Amino acid sequence: MVSTATQIGDFHFDNCLMNAAGVYCMTREELAEVDASAAGSFVTKTGTLAARAGNPEPRYVDTDLGSINSMGLPNQGFQYYLEYVTELQNQPGSKHHILSLVGLSPDETHTILKTVQASDYEGLVELNLSCPNVPGKPQIAYDFEMTTEILTEVFTYYTKPLGVKLPPYFDIVHFDQAAEVFNQFPLVFVNCINSIGNGLVIDDESVVIKPKQGFGGLGGDYVKPTALANVHAFYQRLKPSIQIIGTGGVRTGRDAFEHILCGASMVQIGTALQQEGPAIFERVTAELQAIMAEKGYETLEDFRGKLNYID
């Protein structure tokens, strides 16, 4: 019997596959579709203090090798998502979920997290330190001082299970420095990676998305090796109490297998879910189970993190 069940912190999931924040998660209707699929969970669109319309369209485009987007944080406001995950939490037999959040300033982030702390929601929260698409707002997680300052303040009042969504890092020294920061805090997980920020896709002689003169976050096949490197780099460096969620370039069971081999406890699907719809979870789960069965693995623990090196 092959199982793709997993656990993040104290929360059990029957399947390790779920959506990546930003895809199929803007409204209750989309979230309910993911919830009704073979996915083990869903994460909400990153909620801000006030609802946002986001950037002008076109702001997401599929390409042969993935996607480019500059959505600009369109969302219904964090209270909308907080209410929905709280409602589901109180339904017997419900899956567990992840609430994604960030403020447009540190003050806003603290206002949001203090509201969640005071709420009835006891589930997982993902603080998004890696949105690349709001003009004039740099990604928090590329500033280690700012990241340390925000997390230090957060953990003076926040006692519920919290993880962070990270951008890709590209230098071994940055892996070391980032891990040193995150190891100082009682985080439950880090999620690697958000899109590779500020790529540029050209069709004929023009950019393909309107915001930021065409610059946008890359997802899909383009990003898998970077995602795997980040998952494994953090798996090697973080204390065992901080688990890894692997995101980036997952389209097949083989991709999910590689993320788990690198150390992921949960695996998220973004671009490929956008392209294929929630039926993708059944396909990728079956493909992952087939690989496990062929190799004689019964659970994810049988191969998680057990990447082979060449001596």
295 is in an annotated binding site: no
With contacts defined by CB under 6 A, name the span among 124-132, 222-230, 267-275, 296-304 that binds ligand DHB.
124-132
Is 131 a residue of the active site? yes
Give the pair of three-digit tokens for residue 186: 């009682």
- Where helices occur in the chain by DSSP H, the ranges are 28-35, 78-89, 106-118, 144-157, 172-182, 224-237, 253-261, 271-276, 280-295
Residue 128 interacts with ligand DHB (CB under 6 A)?
Answer: yes
Output DSSP code: residue 59.
-
From the CB of 216, what's the least distance to ligand DHB, in Å?
Answer: 8
The two three-digit tokens of residue 195, written as one number:
């899109």
For ligand DHB, what does the binding mask look like between residues 205 and 224, x meaning CB under 6 A?
------------x-------
Q: How far is the CB of 153 from ligand DHB (least distance, A)?
A: 21
- For the segment 62-101, give every residue that binds ligand DHB (CB under 6 A): 70-74
Ordered DSSP codes for 216-240? EEEEGGGGHHHHHHHHHHHHHHS-T
Q: Select which of 16, 25, 131, 262 is catalytic.
A: 131
Q: Shortest distance, CB of residue 311 to ligand DHB, whole angstroms?
A: 38
Read off the amino acid at residue 304.
R
When asked if residue 103 is in the footprint of ligand DHB (CB under 6 A), the reply is no
Size of interface with ligand DHB, in residues (CB under 6 A): 16
Distance in Å, CB of 197 to ligand DHB, minimum: 8
* Cβ atoms within 10 Å of 188's Cβ, excluding its own: 19
Q: Is 191 in the site for ligand DHB (CB under 6 A)?
A: no
Residue 198 to residues 43, 84, 133, 267, Cα–Cα distance (Å): 23, 32, 8, 23
Supply the minimum distance, in Å, between the C-beta of residue 127 and ligand DHB: 11
Strand order in the sheet with 189-192: 17-19, 264-269, 243-247, 189-192, 162-166, 124-128, 98-101
- Do the annotations mark residue 73 as ligand-binding? yes
Total Cβ atoms within 10 A of residue 24: 26
By CB under 6 A, residue 130 contacts ligand DHB: yes
Binding-site sequence positions for FMN: 45-46, 128, 165, 193, 220, 248-249, 270-271
- Residues forming contacts to ligand DHB in the complex (CB under 6 A) are 22, 46, 54, 70-74, 128, 130-133, 194-195, 217
Residues annotated as part of the active site: 131
